[in-house]
């Protein structure tokens, strides 16, 4: 049942706001959550919520941490994500 749910979520399109976020991340390659939240004019907690949903719908972004600070990077289609 959980696999079916995940497959359905994966097929759902990104919202307009998610597309905007993806565009900013694509241009930046890598960006901290704080900087991205500023560029998107949203709170970090709202950004985290959106990223949580977004990473279930697409594999074009990857979240990671550097010195306990949240970052996100754009992953080119077909490119495997970093093991770090």
Which residues share a beta bridge with 73?
Answer: 30, 62
Residue 26 lies in a domain: yes
Domain total of the chain: 1
Q: What is the pTM of this model?
A: 0.80
Q: At 75, list the tokens.
A: 């992953």
Q: Is the pLDDT of residue 22 over 60?
A: yes
Residue 35 lies in a domain: yes
pLDDT for res 11:
78
Looking at residue 33, which CATH number applies to its domain?
1.10.10.10
pLDDT for res 73:
96
Expressed as residue numbers, the domain containing 55 is 2-74
Length of the chain: 84
What distance in Å separates the CA atoms of residue 25 and residue 10, rounded to the nearest whole number?
Answer: 20
Task: From 59, 60, 32, 68, select the one nearest 48 (Cα to Cα).
Answer: 32
Q: For 24-79, how does the pLDDT look when each residue is reduced to its tens digit (9 = 90+)?
A: 999 999 999 999 999 999 999 999 999 999 999 998 999 999 999 999 999 987 76
60 three-state secondary structure: coil
Q: Is the pLDDT of residue 81 over 70?
A: no
Residue 82 lies in a domain: no
């Amino acid at each position: 049942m959980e696999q079916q749910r995940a497959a359905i979520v994966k097929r759902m399109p990104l919202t307009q706001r998610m597309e905007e976020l993806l565009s900013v991340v694509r241009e930046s390659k890598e960006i901290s959550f704080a900087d991205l939240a500023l560029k998107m004019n949203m709170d970090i907690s709202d950004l985290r919520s959106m990223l949580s949903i977004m990473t279930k719908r697409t594999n074009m972004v990857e979240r990671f941490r550097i010195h306990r600070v949240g970052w996100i990077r754009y992953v080119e289609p077909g490119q495997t994500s970093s093991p770090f």
